[in-house]
Amino acid sequence: MTFKALLIEKDDAGYRAAVKDVGDKVLGAGEVTVRVAYSTINYKDGLAITGKSPVVRKFPLVAGIDFAGTVESSDDSRFKPGDRVLLNGFGVGESHSGGLAQRARVKADWLLPLPAGLSERRAMALGTAGYTAMLCVMALQRHGVTAESGEVLVTGANGGVGTVAISLLSRLGYRVVASTGRLNEAGFLQSLGAAEVISRDTFSNPGKPLAKERFAGVVDAVGSHTLANACAATRYGGAVAACGLAQGMDFPGSVAPFILRGISLYGIDSVMAPMTARSAAWARLASDMDLAKLDSLTQEIGLGDAVAAGARILAGQVRGRLVVNVDA
């Protein structure tokens, strides 16, 4: 039996990604086989599909770092045929074949039951980007950043993490300042709940070790100078949740915000986060996310469109979330 998958290959002919008819042998080992319904395109998927960064570590490999679907077969007592499940991370789409396919086979330890109230499509409209955004929000809240603490900055606001973070924070009562390179999208960001939209140029160039104190918290998906400047503008005792590297992996900053203002920088890892954190984040997404807003920031594409979408997301040409119907 064959099925469709976005297969990444690398050999003497070069690096390439294409949708192909493949067999089960590309799936790899695992106790649970899932009939995938939806996947999505995250920034990391774009890096993998285009080969712009060495995300994929074995070839050939099915792309896609997350998926939602229904269990077909299981050798693990925790899951049975018909169970609705989702997966994020754990090296899927990097070293183990992933979710941009009609079938996936994975370890049972990597799967979560689909939260009540979320369809497979909406779960992947959230995807790893939305799950990461929730991990950031939870980190700020654990630190003690409340709606009364002050403004929260969200960088990379038009991306997947940014749009979900804005939606979540605004619904929780925070005043959100959105930083974006696409000011023509200000109306869209305001419709998600941003109280103010500012240019990314405010943060993307080299800055001073300390700036005027403004933000009680930050969700940063950009890295590099943006992260350093966001830290410099964080208020005394505030917190920054860093989860991305769209501008770069470097951190050209200073210790000044940490030792003079006592701010905290939280690193947010979505790939290997423990199941307790995953379950809590997905439960919060199911209860805290405005599903009407989620639908408004989501575009559905077919599996055949995923290769082109990978290039578009790296070029900053994607607004919000792309959900992939693997049967279209």
Look-up: residue for tokens 């039996």? 1
Task: Determine contact, residues 106/118, Cβ cutoff 8 Å.
Answer: no
- CA dist., res. 22 & res. 44, Å (int): 23
- CA dist., res. 7 & res. 233, Å (int): 43
**Which parts of the chain sit beneath pLDDT 50?**
none
CA angle 64, 29, 306 (to 5 degrees): 15
What's the topology of domain 128-267? Rossmann fold (3.40.50)
For the chain, the domains span 3-114+297-325, 128-267
Residue 154 pLDDT: 98
Residue 25 pLDDT: 93
**Quick one: DSSP state of residue 181?**
S
Residue 252 pLDDT: 97
For residue 28, what are the CA distances in angstroms to 39, 47, 51, 61, 93?
A: 18, 22, 21, 9, 11
Task: Determine contact, residues 174/140, Cβ cutoff 8 Å.
Answer: no
**Quick one: DSSP state of residue 90?**
T
- In the CATH scheme, what is the code of domain 3-114+297-325? 3.90.180.10
Task: Look up the pTM and report it.
Answer: 0.94
Tokens of 225: 């100078």
Residue 316 pLDDT: 87
Total residue count of the chain as it appears in this document = 328
Per-residue DSSP letters for 186-201?
HHHHHHHTEEEEEETH
Residue 247 pLDDT: 95
- Look over the chain and give the mean of its residue pLDDT values, rounded to a whole number: 96
Residue 119 pLDDT: 97
Q: Please, which residues have CB within 8 angstroms of residue 247's CB and are 6 or more apart in sequence?
A: 204, 222, 223, 224, 225, 226, 227
